[in-house]
Amino acid sequence: MKFTFFLLLFFLSFESSSQQHSVVDYLSPYQVVSQYVSVNGFPDKLKYFCCELYQEWDADSTLGQHLPKNVLRSPQLIFQDSTHATVAVWLYDSVLSVDVYFYLIKKKVWTIYAARSLVMKAAATNEINRLDSIPINDRGRKYKKNKLYSFDFEYENLKLWNASDTVLANYFRSHKKIFFKLHTVLAQKGFLTNDSLVVNGINNKKIRKLADRVLIRNFEYDKMYPGCIFFLIGGLLDNTVGYLYQPNSQKLPLLTEKHYILIKSLGSGWYLFKTT
């Protein structure tokens, strides 16, 4: 009887240990990133990092522990298939606001191998500060006299360029009808008969008027991804942000840490995109 009892205890202990090990080993991409940015730390973290994140092997704390405790952390799964995943985290408080994208690969466990964020946003902040320094009386016709855009467009566009993904997504949804109309007019005017023609759409007065209403600076295409129309908000060099229209999700750009660092669905064939 005692032998049977102790044997049962041993079995239950082994089973419990195996289950706990299994839970740890099968953390989802969302869970891995959530623990990494958690203020509570990430026990047994070493096996969840590789490649660009190899420094974590020697670090005695995590990103989440380095951040001030009042910083809010809002993770969201952006993409996942059987081998790759992308998780976005919005880090913010009354001063800080930054979106960070973590890229994971499935090995024995889901492993973070790279992290990215839109760079050169400081340029937008500096330009906003410059605009703030312009006297109010010089912000009207006098400003636009030698400029392509009005003062108000420049100011609001730069704020949008510098905004969080949450703000960018909400902005699109609140102006969705105008974006659809903008796409319709581009098609009606023949600028979508060939992808390369879309860059000329901004020169059409009706299209330009609509684009100004939703703070779009230009339209772009990518010959690597036919049929994708990019509505550009702003950026510098390869570091851009805007909205993408592609009704066929199978033809979207590849989401990686190398170029298209974010492609987030907004519904009805529209996406928020960022590049680096």
Say whether pTM exceeds 0.85: yes
Pair 128, 45 in one domain: no
Pair 80, 63 in one domain: yes
Pair 159, 100 in one domain: no
Q: Write down which residue in 94, 116, 138 finishes a domain.
A: 116
Pair 80, 157 in one domain: no
Pair 182, 80 in one domain: no
Pair 139, 265 in one domain: yes
Pair 147, 222 in one domain: yes
Taking only the tens of pLDDT, the chain with its 276 residues reads 443 333 333 333 333 344 444 444 689 999 999 999 999 989 888 899 999 988 887 888 889 999 999 999 999 999 999 999 999 999 999 988 999 999 999 999 999 999 999 988 888 899 999 999 999 988 988 788 778 899 999 999 999 999 999 999 999 999 999 999 999 999 999 999 999 999 999 999 999 999 999 999 999 999 999 999 999 999 888 899 999 999 999 999 999 999 999 999 999 999 999 999
Pair 145, 266 in one domain: yes
Pair 51, 169 in one domain: no
Pair 201, 218 in one domain: yes
First-to-last alpha carbon distance for the chain, in angstroms, is 68
Per-residue model confidence (pLDDT) at position 25: 62
Q: Write down which residue in 63, 95, 116 finishes a domain.
A: 116
Pair 166, 253 in one domain: yes
Per-residue model confidence (pLDDT) at position 21: 44
Pair 79, 133 in one domain: no
Range of the domain at 94: 2-116
Domain count within the chain? 2
Per-residue model confidence (pLDDT) at position 176: 98
Q: Write down which residue in 92, 116, 140 finishes a domain.
A: 116
39: domain CATH number is 3.10.450
